[in-house]
Every structure is written in C-alpha cells, then in structure tokens.
C-alpha cells in the first residue's frame, strides 16, 4: 500500500517561513491535500490540488509539488498556526486514501 512520510516535528520562529513536507511515490500520480488540526478539534482543509486555498484560509498558506514530494509553506507563521499538519492523497487504486504521518508545528 502507499505511504506518505512527514517529519514528526518542525519549529519556526514567529513571523518566519516554514516548509512542511510529505513524501510518497503516489504523489507522482496524484495531488496531495493538507489539513491543519488543533488540539481537540476536527481537521481543517488548508490546501488542495496544485496550490489552492479554501475560502477563509489565509494566503500565508501555500502548496507546491515536486516529484514524489508535496510541500506546505507558511510564510510569516503566526502563533495560531501552531498545530498538527497532515497531508493526504489517494493510493494507486484511486479510490482509497492515505494520510501522512503528521507533523507537529511549534511556533516559537
């Protein structure tokens, strides 16, 4: 089955830029989507497709793709961006999904 690998933890200074990556062979075939999850809350979609933000998501969130890696970039990280971030994509069957292992972002 397909796997998506993320760094377990990343930190960023307030106002600086941070990139969270997601690696998996399936990303050569399908786009990833990205989710922010704060403690005790449901996940929230922040990026989908090539680099699309749902309504209400700040433009400091952006996405990019290269080969087997999808990236989520936060430009000018804010304290409220501290959360767990998960990537998600389909597996090779096209109708099964897989989530990444998750990255805990700390804003210093």
Contact 72, 9 (CB under 8 A): no
Q: Which of 59, 67, 79, 95 binds other proteins (CB under 8 A)?
A: 95
- Asked if 19 interacts with other proteins (CB under 8 A), we say no
Of the candidates 9, 30, 10, the residue with the CA atom closest to the CA atom of residue 88: 30
- Asked if 23 interacts with other proteins (CB under 8 A), we say no
- Asked if 1 interacts with other proteins (CB under 8 A), we say yes
Positive or negative: CA dihedral 14, 53, 3, 69: negative
Q: What angle do CA 48, 54, 57 make, to 5 degrees?
A: 110
- Asked if 39 interacts with other proteins (CB under 8 A), we say no
Q: Which of 45, 64, 75, 76 binds other proteins (CB under 8 A)?
A: 45
Nearer to other proteins, 19 or 90 (CB): 90
């Amino acid at each position: 089955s397909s796997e998506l690998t993320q760094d377990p933890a990343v930190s960023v200074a307030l106002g600086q830029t941070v990139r969270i990556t997601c690696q998996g062979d399936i990303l050569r075939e399908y786009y990833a989507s990205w989710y922010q999850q704060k403690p005790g809350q449901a996940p929230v979609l922040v990026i989908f497709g090539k680099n699309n933000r749902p309504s209400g998501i700040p433009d400091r969130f952006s996405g990019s793709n290269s080969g087997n890696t999808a990236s989520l970039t936060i430009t000018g990280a804010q304290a409220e961006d501290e959360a767990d971030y998960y990537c998600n994509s389909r597996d090779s069957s096209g109708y099964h999904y897989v989530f990444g292992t998750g990255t805990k972002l700390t804003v210093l």
